[in-house]
Structure 1
């Protein structure tokens, strides 16, 4: 059993990168399920029904989100009516949508949980307590968590807290793939951040000059994405053991499209188990 987790999709160019690369990546890794973080998939930021539909049509089986999920009011009804797209579970229970999705794979069940960190982000319910409550409610063959958080320490702490209790903890939100993909002592796959799917020559997907202007002047700046820049897709592939529900391997990767040949190249780390 293998799962792909794709990092935060940024704007239209990120959506097109998913459309081009995800089918090949699923075949190349032999993945059974692809989870895509789509919270920045709309032009501007946030996610819209059209961008969500694009990701599903491109091969995403589940879409996770984060702190921008409610930026667009058009998404509220869509979140409530499409259970395969989830928002962080530690929002108030009356927020649109759900924080978990139970994927039925026939011979297996996969519980996908979306959580948001509280360090330097919105003051939501404690994600550790929220996860404890979720694990009491569900029984699945595998459980994976997209932890959308700012602080590395908070992500690492949740990984260790859930080690042996879930199959994998994937960090998202900071858009830079980290070099710590690993299997923790009790069998949980972990990475602090899976990276992003968007313009490689950017500051977290945004035109560098716009971010520099904001940081130099301390004045409001309209962030822009250069949809003509070559993109990179960051993610991980995790191998799971059906008998134990634990992970036996994790490999992180960056996918690119060659500008001349238009071929997809995938650079992977050495597999860690």
Structure 2
């Protein structure tokens, strides 16, 4: 996030007298936090004349997402002292901060606060997922499972939090069992799920290039092209021609011309000669044709 852009937006809000608008105020706090300008974010927060819960959520979320967990917890305590009741947005940020600290005693207290923030008109799936993640990072997968098992509705994040939590603490069989159960229920995994499965398997073997290649191919075949792309970008080693080819094949299958062009650039860099270029064109032509057909 560009700091200059944040300051420009702030200047425009002052010019039009919107700096005290509660939506503008919380937006500026979030904007400065994402730009890493926490001093400016705090200044907007401190200068607020009629501070609402949205501003508290913005500053707590900013600290939590910015890796300043202790400050996020301190702001949460201050929120409570000022007579505000947290909502689901507050608790997601705070439980995430607690997970980063690994403070189990604090986790117990925050779990109680989650019940205060429950809204009967809204699904509490987001908060429950955050509690599962918190307990997992604190090393209490038994408590994470208790929350998970009582959830009436579960999504990919619910399952992934359990899988990653088990993997993080070396519970290989539990992580793989949950992955199988997740597939049986018809929930589609994302790239984080696969990273969790790979992490769980690490005690048995060290993930190599061919393992990542299998994952990229699997994600691509399932149509999860963004996840496959992210897997390639986050690999601890450089992708080879085979992996790029798998991703290109997925682009061809699903007609994703934009990603196909991105893959093509990498393949050209790896095969700069004429022979490689002609081979690339033969692969890429169907992708372009498919894209034109989809565009009608």
Scaled by the length of structure 1, the TM-score of the pair is 0.32
Q: Select the structure that is richer in helix.
A: 2
Higher-RCO chain (CA-CA 8 Å, sequence separation at least 6): 1
Q: Which has the higher strand share?
A: 1
Over alpha carbons, which structure has the higher Rg? 2
